[in-house]
Structure 1
Amino acid sequence: MKKLLFITSIAVIASLNILAQGYRNPVLPGFHADPSVCTNGKDFYLVNSTFQYFPGVPVFHSKDLIHWEQVGNCLSRKSQLDLSGLYTQSQPEQGWTNAGIYAPTIRYHEGRYYMVTTIFPSRRHFYVWTDDPSKEWSDPIFIDFALGSCDPTLFWDEGKCYFLWKAAADETRPGIKPGEINICEIDVNTGQRTGDFHHLGTGLGGRYPEGPHIYKKDGYYYMMLAEGGTEHGHHVNILRSKSLFGPYEPNPANPILTHFSMKMQNSNIQGLGHADLIQAPDSSWWMICLGYRTSGYLLHVMGRETLLAPVRWDKDAWPVVNGNGTIAIDMKCNTLPEVPMPLDPVREEFKYIKREVPADSYSSIGLPWGWMSIGNPDYSRYSLTERKGWLRLHSTSTPLDAATSPTFVARRQTELYFSATALVDASHLTEGSQAGITAYAAPLNHYDLIVERKKGKLVVKSNIRVGALCHTGQPVELKDSQAYIRISSDKDYYYMQVSADGKSFTTLSKMDFRYLSTEVIGGFTGVMLGLFAQGGDGYADFDWFEYTTE
Structure 2
Amino acid sequence: MSGPHPVIPGFHPDPTVCRVGDDYYLACSSFEYFPGIPLFHSRDLRNWTRIGNVLDRPGQLRLPVESPSSAGIYAPTLRHHDGRFWLIVTNVSDGGNFLVTATDPAGPWSDPVPLPGVHGIDPDLAWDDDGACYCTVAGVSQFRIDPDTGRTLGEPRPVWSGTPGAKAPEAPHLHHIGDHWYLLIAEGGTERGHGVSIARGPAPTGPFEPCPANPVLTHRSTDEPVQNTGHADLVQAPDGAWWMVFLGVRPRGGSPGWHVLGRETFLAPVTWVDGWPVVGPVVSGAEGAPDGYRDDFASPELAPEWISPRSRPASHVTTREPPGRLTLRAAGASLDEPDAVFVGRRQENLTCRVRTRVDAAQGRGGLAVRLDEGHHYEIEADAREVRVTARIGPARTVLAARSTHGEPLVLGVDIAETRTLDDARTGPDTLAFGVEEADGTFTALAALDGRYLSTEVAGGFTGRVIGLYAAAGTVHFDWFAYRPSPSTTPAP
**Residue 467 (structure 2) aligned to one of 517, 530, 537:** 530
Letter in 1 for 2:479: D
Aligned length: 469
- When the two structures are superposed, what TM-score results if normalisation uses the length of structure 2? 0.91
1:85 Cα deviation (Å)?
4.0
Question: Over residues 471-492 of structure 1, what are the superposed CA-to-partner deviations in whole Å (9 max), with x where a residue is unaligned?
Answer: 1134311256111100111122
Question: Over residues 76-112 of structure 1, what are the superposed CA-to-partner deviations in whole Å (9 max), with x where a residue is unaligned?
Answer: 112111101442xxxxxxx22x310000110000210
- When the two structures are superposed, what TM-score results if normalisation uses the length of structure 1? 0.81
Residue in structure 2 matched with residue 26 of structure 1 by the alignment: 6
Question: Over residues 3-43 of structure 1, what are the superposed CA-to-partner deviations in whole Å (9 max), with x where a residue is unaligned?
Answer: xxxxxxxxxxxxxxxxxxxx953000000000000111221
**Residue 383 (structure 1) aligned to one of 310, 318, 325:** 318
SS at match of 2:452: helix
Calculate the aligned-residue CA RMSD, in Å. Answer: 2.1
Residue in structure 1 matched with residue 253 of structure 2 by the alignment: 296
1:247 Cα deviation (Å)?
1.7
Structure 2: gaps spanning 5 or more residues: 418-428, 487-492
Tell me whether 1:327 sits opposite 2:282 in the alignment. yes
Residue in structure 2 matched with residue 185 of structure 1 by the alignment: 144
**Residue 137 (structure 1) aligned to one of 109, 133, 138:** 109
Residue in structure 2 matched with residue 59 of structure 1 by the alignment: 39
- C-alpha separation in 2, matches of 1:302 and 1:27: 14
1:426 Cα deviation (Å)?
2.5
* Mapping for residues 422-501 of structure 1, pairs under 5 Å: 422-427=356-361, 429=362, 433-453=363-383, 458-479=384-405, 481-491=407-417, 492-501=429-438
Preserved CA contact (<8 Å) 2:8 2:285? no
Residue in structure 2 matched with residue 280 of structure 1 by the alignment: 237
Tell me whether 1:109 sits opposite 2:109 in the alignment. no
SS at match of 1:28: coil
1:207–1:164: structure 2 CA closer, same or farther, 3 Å change rule? Answer: same
Residue in structure 1 matched with residue 490 of structure 2 by the alignment: none
1:123–1:223: structure 2 CA closer, same or farther, 3 Å change rule? Answer: farther
Amino-acid identity (%): 38
Tell me whether 1:194 sits opposite 2:194 in the alignment. no
SS at match of 2:315: helix
Letter in 2 for 1:415: N
Structure 1: gaps spanning 5 or more residues: 1-22, 88-94, 168-179, 332-340, 354-365
Residue in structure 2 matched with residue 207 of structure 1 by the alignment: 167
- C-alpha separation in 2, matches of 1:190 and 1:46: 25
Question: Over residues 60-83 of structure 1, what are the superposed CA-to-partner deviations in whole Å (9 max), with x where a residue is unaligned?
Answer: 111111111111111111211110
* Structure (1/2) with the larger helix percentage: 1
SS at match of 1:376: coil
Preserved CA contact (<8 Å) 1:58 1:72? yes
1:481–1:528: structure 2 CA closer, same or farther, 3 Å change rule? Answer: same
* Mapping for residues 242-281 of structure 1, pairs under 5 Å: 242-261=202-221, 265-281=222-238
1:344 Cα deviation (Å)?
7.6
1:545 Cα deviation (Å)?
2.8
Deviates most, 196-205 or 247-256: 196-205
- C-alpha separation in 2, matches of 1:86 and 1:485: 31
* Mapping for residues 294-373 of structure 1, pairs under 5 Å: 294-297=251-254, 298-313=257-272, 317-322=275-280, 326-327=281-282, 329=284, 346-353=293-300, 366-373=301-308
Preserved CA contact (<8 Å) 2:374 2:391? yes
> Which entry has the higher C-alpha Rg, 1 or 2?
1
